[in-house]
Amino acid sequence: MAASDPIPIRLTINGKQHQASVPPRRTLVDFLRYDLGLTGTKEACSVGVCGACTVLLNGRIAASCITLAVQADGAEIVTIEGIGSEEHLHPVQQAFIDHGGFQCGICTPGQIVAAKALLDENPKPSEDEIKEWLMGNLCRCTGYYQIIESVKAASGQAV
């Protein structure tokens, strides 16, 4: 047996059951992007700081770049592909369009997954609560004002 030998895993991704075999060092973000072709999730800093790779792991936001795929064995994962659909955007997605919550788009999947998780837990967050929650999702384009506005709007609050 070698250290690189794949380990079987079973997990649910965006409501669909998956079985796969992955080497232990495979990160969850690489598994999603390169094994499953779910390229909506981005990798930027690779050390859990920037938030681009944010996914829901058993309903809570997690950094898929510092999570091993083998750690997600048995878990329920939701990626940006599992939030809304092209025909029916999630309210957070629609709000990001309406309020200019993105420019280059690299941080956007992570921002939207994180914002959805916030609203699931706290449907009417204050501006300070939005800032505290999203401070770990870095954006180099918008200056954050539009992102905060988008989350407020998605929660049905005046912006």
Partner 1 sequence: MRDFYFHSPTSLQEVFSLLEEHGEDARPMAGGTALVVLMKQSLVEAEHFVSLARVPGLAGIRAEADGLHIGALTNHRDVETSPVVKQGWPLLAEVYRNVATVRIRNVATVGGGLAHADPAQDPPPGFIVLDARVKLVSRSGERVIPITELFTDYYETSIRPGELLTEVIVPPVPAGARSVYLKFLPRTADDYATVSVAALAETEDGTCRRLKVALGAAGPTPVHATAVEQALNGQRISPEAVRLAAEAVAAQVDPLDDFRGSSEYKRDMAVVFTRRAVERVLGLA
Q: Which is nearer to partner 1, 60 or 124 (CB)?
A: 60
Quote the least distance from Cβ 85 to partner 1, whole Å: 25
Quote the least distance from Cβ 43 to partner 1, whole Å: 12
Quote the least distance from Cβ 74 to partner 1, whole Å: 9
Quote the least distance from Cβ 98 to partner 1, whole Å: 25
Comparing CA positions, the residue from 53, 65, 72, 63 lying closest to residue 27 is: 65
Let me know: does 94 contact 154? Beta carbons within 8 Å.
Answer: yes
Q: Which is nearer to partner 1, 57 or 147 (CB)?
A: 57
DSSP assignments along 89-148, one per residue: --HHHHHHHHTT--SS-SSHHHHHHHHHHHHHH-SS--HHHHHHHHTTS--SSS-SHHHH
Q: Which residues bind partner 1 (CB under 8 A)?
A: 1-4, 7, 23-25, 27, 46-49, 51, 54, 57, 60-63, 66-68, 70-71, 73, 114, 132-133, 135-136
Q: Which is nearer to partner 1, 85 or 126 (CB)?
A: 126
Catalogue the E-assigned strands of 14-72.
16-22, 54-57, 60-63
